[in-house]
Structure 1
Amino acid sequence: MARERWNSQLGFLMAAVGSAIGLGNIWRFSYLAYQHGGGAFLIPYLTALLTAGIPLLILENGIGHERVGSAPLAYHKISPRWEWLGWWSVIFVMFGIELYYSAIISWCLNYFALSFNLAWGDDPNAYFFKHFLRVSDSPFRLGEIRTPILFGLILTWLAIWLVVYRGIQKGIELANKIMMPVLLLLTVVLVAWSLQLDGAWHGIQVYITPDFAKLNDPQVWIDAYSQIFFTLSLGFGIMIAYASYLPDKTDITRNAVLIALINSAYSLLTGFGVFAVLGFMAQSEGKEIADVVTQSIGLAFVAYPKAIGLMPGGNLFGALFFLSLTVAGLSSAVSIVEAFVSAVIDKFNFDRKLLVTFVSVFGCLGGIVFTTQSGLLWLDIVDRFITHYGLVTVGILECIVIGWAFDLFKLRQHINRISSLKLGMGWILLIKVFVPLMLGIIFFGDIYNELQRPYGGYSWAALILIGRDWLILTLIAAFIVAGRPWRSDRPSKPGRSVKSKIDVS
């Protein structure tokens, strides 16, 4: 069966950017910038982008293109003993991150509808936690299924199914060619609107004023590298799969640089909008910025709704804001499903349409736990273990396998033959030494903090049974799937023959 291809370089770029730009670009980056020295945070952030983000993105694009396969197939072609690593990443991302991510998109859909009449009232904090989510007091008390969230979840999965079902060119590429310009337009409108609000420039000043003393804190640098790693979808298996659909002659390094820069530029742009709104809110309520900044999800579902209720035309602003969150979330959710679907098709040669339908139904059913009253608590625990332990472990092993078990010089030769920006020894050293070292620091730092005090104040039973065991079960599944025989001829084809297939003149 012939492998699908992107219809154009622009289509690939839009899809890769759509995967990278997600909900975290809007709320997590802005919060980290505020927390870690405002404008000074750009120093570790850009350092992380140049020394880890772009090099790893080049690595994943390069290995997907050179080995011509999804993450499991690419690792199998390097060495069959490492196939499980590719399966582990796409399985825990698909049946972990995707399940709760689709629930968050459902929240965004609900808040899009709620924006038109500002249904959250004068106390968005109480509305979000006590009325909308009705959060239980323990992860083990599931409580009732929140019907509005369940309906939003079903709509989310219908949208994901529709895009991935139609394949690479007519589905993912076409959808991202529509979604990415729409998202950019919505973001520009929101930022421009935000800058006109009273007090907006006070918020901007807080956002961009550097506090260089913060740079002495190692946690600032760790958070910067963590943000870059997660925001570029590194370790997800997505970029490997997407690169495998590229034609023989393509510019790997230029594409990687463009994806990384567009993603980071979008984060910087949204930061101006976020802090303009926070500045307006602080002035309206006679508070300091520090008193209105809410971490992570609360920034979008508590602080922003509060500000929306205070500004003229807030209902329209709110609708545009939550629509932009929905579009950003969907573009990333689609890429996660495609990474998994691509891997299964490579391994078992299943029919795409039947497989996508099955995965979408199963994914929707699996996401129901995150629509219950303890859904937020499950989300918090699962996200913590998958992103801080699962993805970081995959990133470390990725550098070791491709950097040391595989001939990295051969991969560099392949990339340099077809790329305008040439890689030197610096890239080799970053992949072999620096990036795994930084990820190792993040990994062991998190374990140390975890042992000092259980994460989030949860019981050890909840962290072990929900967080740790989620990773263990997906790891077991990865070894089981990796042990099954291949039903396609793709493993027998080691990769692209650069000399015979690529015009390097």
Structure 2
Amino acid sequence: MEVKKEKKSTTWDKPIESVFTQVGYLVGLGNLWRFPYLCQKNGGGVFLIPYAISLAIISLPLYTFEIGLGQMTNKGRLGAWNRVPLMKGIGYASMFVTIFSMIPYMLIMGWGILFLGHSFTTGPLPWTTCDNPWNTNSCITLEMATNHTTAVSSKGAGFNVSESGMLIYTKESLPQVQFWRNYVLRIPNPESGIDGEFNWPVLCALIGAFVTVFFVTIKGIKSSGKVVYFTATFPYVMLIALLIRSVTLEGATNGIKAYLLPDLSKLANAQVWIEAVSQTVYSFGICFAAVTAIGRYNKYDHNFYRSSLWIVPAGAFSSFTMGFVTFSVLGHLAHVQNVNITDVIQSGPGLVFQVFPVGVALMPAPHIWSIMFFVMIYFVAVDSSFSEFEGLMTMIGDAFPKLVATPRNRAWSNIGLGVTFFLLSLMQLSGYGIYIFELMNYYGASGICLLWAALCESITVGWLWDADQFKRDVKNMTGSNLALYFKYCYKFLIPIVASSVLLFFIIKWEPLKVGDFQYPIWANLIGWFMSMCSILCIPIVIIYVMWKGEGTMHERFKDGLQERRNSKYVVGRNGAMSAAEKKILDDHETPI
């Protein structure tokens, strides 16, 4: 029998490159940018309880499966699901989720570049003073608050000194908040003279972001695999330094108490569980394109199972540390301003960019620390964006191999994809761009669409692929035995938790609200359309496969669970097929 040989696949030069890429991805924006503001929004310490539970039940098992799926099939997120054609809609759903996440990701990188550029100044850091063109009369620096008595006002603006000489504090009083809202976002504000004009400074930063991603991904993992040695480790160095400084700030203990001492009564709030479970799926890249793409470049016998057992906790550690630093600085700000910690800064997607500039400004040589911190944010964004961008490129390669068949073709495909994302990102640069950003992030790249995909994925590996078969596959590839706990997660725990949270989400759904702004119905309908782009992929593909099949409905269903291959036997990665691999192919042999 003739055995058709495939072209030797690209793999990581060293297994450690895969490990560093995964660590860099998991210390990414989901953990450093998104976790702190969701934690603050949902009551601090109480958020950690459902987060830890869903981390163990959902994130670790599904992350292990996705990295193994890429390694086993040697395909990206789309091609890998040829293993179970009936559920290939999960791959298409991941494509839409990744697209909707990349647009906000690139803007976050642009914000980091803008802050980094303003750190190179010989004067005070611009977010620490109140004498800038974007500051309003309500601006209060930390020095002013230290020397005056303050009182909290619910109003969004106003003069910062009352008739009695008391400072009137609002959530928009701090200079870093005004730098963020009035200069970076340019939200329309009559008092500051901002009318929501197009954001040219962020446009320049956004161009820099896309140029970076282009050059990092132009040669695929051969270039990016070397970058991650630095980008994956530097954030941890910065986090440890910021942690040491933040916990020594006056008043930090109040913030730490709010972070570590939960109000257990809030566990009855369904929203806390919904956002905690959603965050664990989001921050570990579950049902995105990146994790499977990273696994694709592993060698067939790489022990992905063993590395996952410590890489996932490392990602959780970065989230926990970032939250610790955030709440320590919030505690200090609340102490200096003499306000409650919940009144310091309004929770939202810009929390990190309003808290950490203060933290680095309070360190010795603040300009140097500011540069280092925003270099960290930049590299974290590079890691996240590269991984998702590469994930999309592998999906393009799965669907249209000629587009990535040569370095020249890959370069043009990179350019085309990058230009498309750049043009889509421009709509976030108006004065109302932050609301477009949050609409896309909330509906298109998190929440219900991720939970739905995770639910379908767990049912697939637990029942359709069969958890016992996946255990044998892991044994064949790595030599390790998959823990029985994973089997029960795939078959029972994940479907129960994910379906319960989905039900809560639907029952408790309310129109999206960011700060004091509630989105109109038409905007929420646009959001639901983005969610449906990924949600409907799964049932549509199931219907299509059943419709195109032959025989009875039962026969069509069984045929839809069988792997599709281009030939009866396919050689291994290095040009030779082992007896174990041949046996697996025989076990799953089906007509083309």
TM-score, normalised to structure 2's length? 0.75
Corresponding letter in the other structure for 1:443:
L
- Residue 22 of structure 2 is matched in structure 1 by 16
Deviates more, 1:98-107 or 1:121-130: 121-130
1:97 and 2:101 aligned: yes
CA distance in 1, matches of 2:570, 2:520: 47
What does residue 230 of structure 2 align with?
A: 178
- CA 1:500–1:308 in structure 2 vs 1: closer, same or farther (change >3 Å)? closer
Instruction: State percent identity of aligned pairs.
Output: 24
The residue that corresponds to 1:460 in the other structure is 521
Structure 1 residue 423, shift from structure 2 partner: 2.2
Q: Secondary structure at the match of 1:71?
A: coil
Paired letter, 2:35: F
Task: Map Cα deviations across residues 69-127 of structure 1 (whole Å, 9 max, x no partner).
Answer: 11111112322x43333123123312x11012101110111112223442233333233
Give the Å deviation of 1:337: 0.5
Shift of 1:293: 4.7
TM superposition shift of 1:311: 6.1
Who is 2:8 aligned against? 2
| Selected match of 2:90 from 82, 85, 108 | 85
* Alignment gaps of 5+ in structure 2: 1-6, 131-174, 190-194, 405-409, 545-563, 583-592
**CA apart distance, 1:266:** 1.3
Match of 1:322 in 2: 374
**Cross-structure match for 1:469:** 529
Local SS of the residue matching 2:350: helix
Residues 145-160 of structure 1: matches in 2 within 5 Å?
A: 145-160=198-213
Structure 1 gaps, min length 5: 484-488
Correspondence list, 1:261-280, <5 A? 261-280=313-332
Separation (CA, whole Å) in 2 of partners of 1:253 and 1:43: 25
- The Cα offsets for residues 406-452 of structure 1, whole Å up to 9 and x where unpaired, read as 233211111134446522443223112321332223333223333x5
Secondary structure, counterpart of 1:353 in structure 2: helix
Aligned counterpart for 2:481 among listed residues 422, 428, 432: 422
What aligned pairs does 1:30-109 form with structure 2 within 5 A after superposition? 30-34=36-40, 38-39=44-45, 41-79=47-85, 81-94=86-99, 96-109=100-113
> 1: CA distance between counterparts of 2:104 and 2:269?
32
1:189 aligns with one of 227, 237, 241: 241
Q: Is the 8 A contact 1:190 1:273 kept in 2?
A: yes
Distance 2:10 2:339 in 1: 55
Name the amino acid aligned to 1:458.
Y
Partner of 1:500: 580
Contact 2:186 2:197 in 1 (8 A): no
1:253 is matched with: 305
- The Cα offsets for residues 309-363 of structure 1, whole Å up to 9 and x where unpaired, read as 5666443333333222222111011100011101111221123222112211222
**Deviation at residue 162 of structure 1 after TM alignment:** 0.9
Q: Give the alignment's Cα RMSD to 1 decimal.
A: 3.0
The offset of 1:269, in angstroms, is 2.0
Equivalent residue, structure 1, for 2:164: none
**Counterparts of 2:579 and 2:270, CA distance in 1:** 46
Deviation at 1:213, TM superposition (A): 4.1
2: CA distance, partners of 1:440 / 1:107: 36
Partner SS, residue 78 of structure 2: helix
* Contact preservation (8 Å) 1:37, 1:212: no
Q: How does 1:161-172 map to 2 (within 5 A)?
A: 161-168=214-221, 170-172=222-224
Residue 297 of structure 1 aligns to a residue in which SS?
A: coil
The TM-score normalised by the length of structure 1 is 0.87
**Aligned twin of 2:126:** 119
Report if aligned partners of 1:67, 1:495 keep a CA contact under 8 Å in 2.
no
1:392 and 2:399 matched = no
Q: Distance in 2 between the 1:264 and 1:301 partners? A: 21
What is the DSSP-based 3-state SS (H/G/I as helix, E as strand, rest coil) of the residue aligned with 1:336? helix
Q: Give yes or no for contact 1:203–1:279 (8 Å, CA) kept in 2.
A: yes
Structure 1 residues 131-156: Cα deviation after superposition (integer angstroms, max 9, x where no partner):
3222259xxxx964311111111111
1:473 offset after TM fit, Å?
A: 5.3
Alignment-mate amino acid for residue 524 of structure 2: L
Compare 237-246 and 42-51 and name the one that shifted more: 42-51
Question: Kindly tell me: are residues 61 and 379 of structure 1, through their superposed partners in 2, closer, same or farther at Cα, counting changes over 3 Å?
Answer: same
Which range is displaced more, 244-253 or 32-41?
A: 32-41
* Contact kept? 2:467, 2:490, Cα under 8 Å: no
Supply the AA of the counterpart residue of 1:358.
G
* Matched letter for residue 500 of structure 1: A
Q: Which amino acid aligns with 1:25?
A: N
1:201–1:276 CA contact under 8 A, matched in 2: yes
| Partner residue in 1 for 2:586 | none
